[in-house]
Amino acid sequence: PVIRLEDYRPSDYLIDTTGLHFTLHPTASKVRAVLAVRRREGVASGAPLVLSGDDLALDALRVDGEAWPDEHHTATPDALTIRNLPDARTFVIEIETILDPSANKQLMGLYRSSDTYCTQCEAEGFRRITYYLDRPDILSVFTVRMEARVEDAPLLLSNGNRIESGLLDNGWHYAVWHDPFPKPSYLFALVAGNLGVVKDSFTTMSGRQVALEIYVEHGKEPRAGYAMDALKRSMRWDEEVFGREYDLDIFMIVAVSDFNMGAMENKGLNIFNDKYVLADARTATDADYANIEAIIAHEYFHNWTGNRITCRDWFQLCLKEGLTVFRDHEFSADQRSRTVKRISEVKLLKAHQFPEDAGPLAHPVRPRRYTEINNFYTATVYEKGSEVVRMIRTILGVEQFRKGLDLYFERHDGDAATIEDFLRAFEDASGMDLGQFSLWYEQPGTPNLIVASEYDAQAQRFTLRVDQKLKPPVEGAPHAPMHIPVKFGLVGEASVDLTWSAVSGADISEDVIHLREPRHEIVFYGIAERPVASLLRGFSAPVTVFPEPDDDALTFLARNDPDEYARWQALASLVTRQIKNAVAIGMPVSGPVLGRTACEVLMEIADADGYEPAYRALCLTLPGENDVAREIGDDIDPEVVHAIHRAASRQLGAHGETLFARLYHGLAPNSAYSPDAESAGRRSLRNIALSYLCHARAEIDLAAEAFAAADNMTDRAHALGLLAHLAPTNQATLDALDSFRTEFRDDPIVMDKWLMIQATAPGATTLETVRKLTAEPAFSWDNPNRIRSLIGAFATGNPTGFNRADGEGYRFLCEAIARIDANNPQVSARLLTAMRSWRNLESGRREQARAAMAALAERKNLSRDLKDILERTLA
């Protein structure tokens, strides 16, 4: 059934307290839920109580202590309806269910991961544990008692504080946890097992001591140190920057190896995919460290933005996710380099959210309808949702933004809130009207700005004409011009922003143009020289600009824009366009792809010691093949894109060979590995220099040497990638792959890199490699990380291998999806999103892709999750 935003209504009943009693057993765990239910004011006393379930069987039902007769209730796997309830406003319902956590392959509800009992309840997993009002606006105080055999589960954890524990007969024991903060069921968590722990503590700004505990597999404790450090930095930062203090006496993180997503913010007991906890130099790359830091922070920040203030319904998901992503972005920017962080965010947004917004899975930041909410944990809700919050800050300014957020926390602490509540807090704090701005939550699609400019030297007048062009209207969504904040400067010859004596045609505050109309003609007076407009500095709005400035203007900006982010943006646009043009004219791959000036600018930046190495590395990184394809838009032939892309790498490598050799040798590490941003930046510059040298010389000796010499996973994985992608059949490559496997065969998250590197080797034969790898011990059809590393990486990160002209890649993916769907619908549905841009392919591949999906759609018993994505993708 379709769930609609406009159908929201409060429930008839509330659940003031929830007692959960677990008797844990691998295949038959008993759950007794004791719910203190209250009829809402104004609801008639006869109203039935309808609780949600998923795959449940009712074992017993009591109301106020009495077994409830069969004729007064109906239990199905999906629902428990209780009738003839007492006239009293409050009563107690007791529900017993029996679960098989070992058979739970969906990894939703209570399941087992490597013999540890754990839970995942967001969005609707709690109803797989017991019948409940499983919706985020039902806040309840939870007390959880767990019993287990000491031998199976010496460790018994849940939300809040441990208030009791002890031994029972026959080798059993128990623990009772109480969480004083009312919370929705999706934030419930339980962990029981035998794990190692790393302990630390944190003193909050008001002087309270908080115990910090990170639980990992025995023996992996040394790999949790960085996560602990990131946690303490996150806690301090949230106090300093947002005034948010932690509120319980203990904060726990548990790493598990089978997890559908990245991590989960359960109150006081975050559960993590272990790849986002475990790191050391030998096993984790710089990117892994950065992800761990960001995700630890993200989940911790949810304690206020998500937990203390939660969502009224799942349509409001971006209320907690967009805001929390914005907060983790700001955290990483403060911990690392702001410009470098911003560039990475924009690259990610364009790579994931723009195609989503341009394809069949497009939806507003706040969707209006869904059939399966798990399919809406998307780049649009998360990343565009974060950009929308960032725009609010741009529009209000840092101070008013902080005031608005403070008001939001003050007003809505303990609430299940809406986007309207959120916006109203900013309006009330700042006195500004965000009515037009709110369209960002309602209208799907990336707006496009059409820009033209004119300089009148005599009148010293510069005119900027900007049209905002929206995607075609979508049923049910408004379609009106948006409030788009465009950060800008008018750059003059001397590399400074020019000032103007007067301006007309738009509201401009400091360095922001506020576009509100379909068209603005903005006239700047008193402009003494012809400027180049630098628009969208810091990517101040998630929009596209078309046409972009011409090559001369982009070159000028790449060299002279006083804004560092904008210099990167100009350079990236310039390089992307030249590659795109070469693809369009089908140029011979032996000729030059990039213009001479573009090459020169790239070399200037590569060689400029005044820039951070990480920034130089980002500038030197060519847009990926998928980025080029996205910019081209339609009729894509991935083979041609690949050939041109390789040619550009070769050209640049040859052009800068001397410089790259100097960088590669000059940046060789002279001290032990450290994951800090500065050292990571030097490694990234050195590694990109190595890539260009390998491309230029058409040989991989240097990569083989680098692989052998590496004392850390960043350099090692990078060198292995070069070997496998440039010379997949070379003996040196086979030897390196072998030695990697020998060293890490017992370490699944490291072997994921081994799978991924091989899966992304370009070329038609990789499909056979991927098929063979599914039989390797390193792979498993049951583990989401394995599936994403091999099959996901193949489908999203290997344009030529996956998009084989004969369609075998699509058929392989669809078969794999059907197989995975029987176990884990969330993972299968997510995998299929790899097909979302199928309509942009050239006609032969397009037809193959369509046929493969149509064949998948014919299969019986597909999950609701998968059907939803399949139907929307094909529609």
Chain contacts with Zn ion (rule: CB under 5 A): 321, 324
Helix axes 398-412, 385-396, angle to 10 degrees: 120
The residue among 297 and 557 lying less far from Zn ion, judged by its C-beta, is 297
CB of 111 to ligand ARG, least distance (A): 13
Would residue 299 show up in a list of annotated catalytic residues for this protein? yes
Find the shortest distance in angstroms from Cβ 122 to ligand ARG.
5
Nearer to Zn ion, 311 or 572 (CB): 311
Closer residue to Zn ion in complex, CB, 13/376? 376
Burial class (CB in 10 A: 0-12, 13-18, 19+), 855: middle
Instruction: Give long-range contacts, CB 8 A cutoff, 24+ apart: 571-575.
Output: 571/598, 571/601, 571/602, 571/605, 571/619, 572/619, 572/623, 573/548, 573/549, 574/598, 574/601, 575/602, 575/622, 575/623, 575/648
CB-wise, 195 or 261, nearer to ligand ARG? 261
Q: Which does 821 bind (CB under 5 to 8 A by kind): ligand ARG, Zn ion, none?
A: none
Q: Which of 543, 483, 490 is nearest to 515 (CA)?
A: 483
238 binds, among Zn ion, ligand ARG, none (CB under 5 to 8 A by kind): none
Torsion over CA: 734, 735, 740, 741 (sign)? positive
* DSSP letters for 430-442: H----TTGGGGGT
**Beta carbon of residue 267, minimum distance to ligand ARG (angstroms, whole number):** 12
Residues of this chain that interact with ligand ARG (CB under 6 A) are 122-123, 260-261, 263-265, 298-299, 321, 374, 377
If the CB atoms of residues 251 and 744 are measured against Zn ion, the closer one turns out to be 251
Helix or strand (DSSP H, E) at 468 = strand 461-469
**What is the 3-class SS of 693-744, one letter each residue?**
HHHHHCCCHHHHHHHHHCCCHHHHHHHHHHHHHHCCCCHHHHHHHHHHHHHH
Instruction: Find out whether 244 and 238 touch, Cβ atoms under 8 Å.
Output: yes
- Binding at 261: pick from Zn ion, ligand ARG, none (beta carbon under 5-8 Å per type): ligand ARG
Which residue's structure tokens are 């869904």? 370
The secondary structure of residue 23, as a DSSP letter, is E
| Shortest Å distance, C-beta 324 to Zn ion | 5
Catalytic member of 122, 299, 345, 372:
299
CA distances from 641 to 583, 593, 777 (A): 6, 12, 34
Kindly tell me which of 261 and 727 has the beta carbon lying closer to ligand ARG: 261
* Closest to ligand ARG by CB, 262 or 505: 262
Q: What residue 788 binds from Zn ion, ligand ARG, none (CB within 5 to 8 A, per partner kind)? A: none
What CA–CA distance (Å, rounded) separates 833 from 795?
10
677-697 vs 286-301: helix axis angle to the nearest 10?
140
Whole-number minimum distance, CB 301 to Zn ion, in Å? 8
Partner that binds at residue 695, options Zn ion, ligand ARG, none, CB closer than 5 to 8 Å by kind: none
Minimum distance between the CB of residue 826 and ligand ARG, rounded to whole angstroms? 6
**280, 362, 378, 444, 809 from 476: Cα distances, Å:** 50, 14, 20, 11, 36
Tabulate helix, strand, coil % of the chain (nearest 5): 45, 20, 35
Question: Please, are residues 759 and 790 in contact by the beta-carbon 8 Å criterion?
Answer: yes
Q: Which helix (H) or strand (E) holds 323?
A: helix 317-335
374 binds, among Zn ion, ligand ARG, none (CB under 5 to 8 A by kind): ligand ARG
Residue nearest to ligand ARG (CB): 377
Which C-beta is closer to Zn ion: that of 324 or that of 800? 324
- Look at phi and psi of residue 633 and say left if phi exceeds 0, alpha if psi is from -120 to 50, else beta: left
Question: Closest separation between CB of residue 784 and Zn ion, Å?
Answer: 17
Two tokens, residue 157: 């954890």
Least CB distance to ligand ARG at residue 220 (A)? 22
CA–CA distance, 173 with 840 (Å, rounded to integer) = 59
Q: Which does 789 bind (CB under 5 to 8 A by kind): Zn ion, ligand ARG, none?
A: none
**Contact partner, 293, from Zn ion, ligand ARG, none, Cβ < 5-8 Å per class:** none
Catalytic residues: 299
